[in-house]
C-alpha cells in the first residue's frame, strides 16, 4: 500500500475504502491483542498470587522441618552423650573389676600357697575370730560356699583341710561347752 498520507491526499475512492477496511481490521486486531494481553496479565497476577501463597505455605513447612530437625539433632546429641558416658562408666567398671579380680586371684594364690605348705596350722586361718560353735558353723558354711570344688574358686585340697580343721574345732568346742 502507498503511504497513508498520499492515499488520504490523492487517493481514489477505492483506495480510501481499502485503507478504511485495513484500519478497521487493524483496529480490531489491536483491540483483540489488547484484550488477550489484559487477560494474560490478569492470569499472570492470579498465578503470581497463587505462587506467593504456595511459597508462604512451603516456607512455613520448611521452617517447621528446620525446627524439627534442630530438635532431632539436639535429641541425638543428648543420646550420644548418654551413650558415651555409659561406655566411659562401663570402662571404669571393667577396670575396677579387673583390679578386684587380680587382687582376689592374688589372695587365693596366697591362701592356696599358705595352705599347701602350712598344713593344719594354716587351715586355722579360715577360722580366726571364731570362739563358739554357732560362729564356727556359720564360718564353715561360708567357706564351703566359696571353696567347694564345683565353684570357680573351689579346690578339693582346700576343702579337705577346711573339713579337718572344722572337725577339730567342733570337737574342741563340744568338750569346752560340755565341761562348762
Q: What is the pLDDT of residues 28-51, one digit of tens each?
A: 999 999 999 999 999 999 999 999
Average pLDDT over residues 140-164: 88
- Residue 32, burial from CB neighbour count under 10 angstroms (0-12, 13-18, 19+): exposed
Q: What is the pLDDT of residue 110?
A: 67
- Residue 124, burial from CB neighbour count under 10 angstroms (0-12, 13-18, 19+): middle
Q: pTM higher than 0.85, yes or no?
A: no
Of 111 and 155, the structure prediction assigns the larger pLDDT to 155
Whether residue 117 is predicted with pLDDT greater than 50 in this model: the reply is no
Amino acid at each position: 500500500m502507498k503511504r497513508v498520507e498520499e492515499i488520504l491526499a490523492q487517493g481514489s475512492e477505492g483506495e480510501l475504502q481499502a485503507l478504511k477496511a485495513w484500519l478497521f481490521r487493524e483496529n480490531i486486531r489491536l483491540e483483540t491483542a489488547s484484550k488477550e494481553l489484559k487477560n494474560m496479565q490478569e492470569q499472570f497476577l492470579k498465578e503470581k498470587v497463587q505462587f506467593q501463597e504456595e511459597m508462604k505455605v512451603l516456607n512455613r513447612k520448611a521452617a517447621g522441618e528446620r525446627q524439627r530437625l534442630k530438635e532431632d539433632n539436639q535429641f541425638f546429641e543428648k543420646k550420644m552423650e548418654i551413650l558415651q558416658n555409659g561406655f566411659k562408666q562401663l570402662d571404669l567398671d571393667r577396670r575396677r573389676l579387673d583390679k578386684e579380680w587380680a587382687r582376689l586371684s592374688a589372695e587365693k594364690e596366697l591362701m592356696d600357697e599358705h595352705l599347701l605348705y602350712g598344713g593344719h596350722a594354716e587351715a586355722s586361718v579360715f577360722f580366726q575370730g571364731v570362739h563358739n560353735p554357732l560362729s564356727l558353723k556359720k564360718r564353715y558354711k561360708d567357706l564351703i560356699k566359696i571353696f567347694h570344688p564345683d565353684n570357680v574358686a573351689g579346690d578339693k585340697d582346700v576343702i579337705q583341710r577346711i573339713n579337718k580343721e572344722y572337725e577339730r574345732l567342733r570337737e574342741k568346742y563340744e568338750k569346752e561347752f560340755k565341761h562348762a
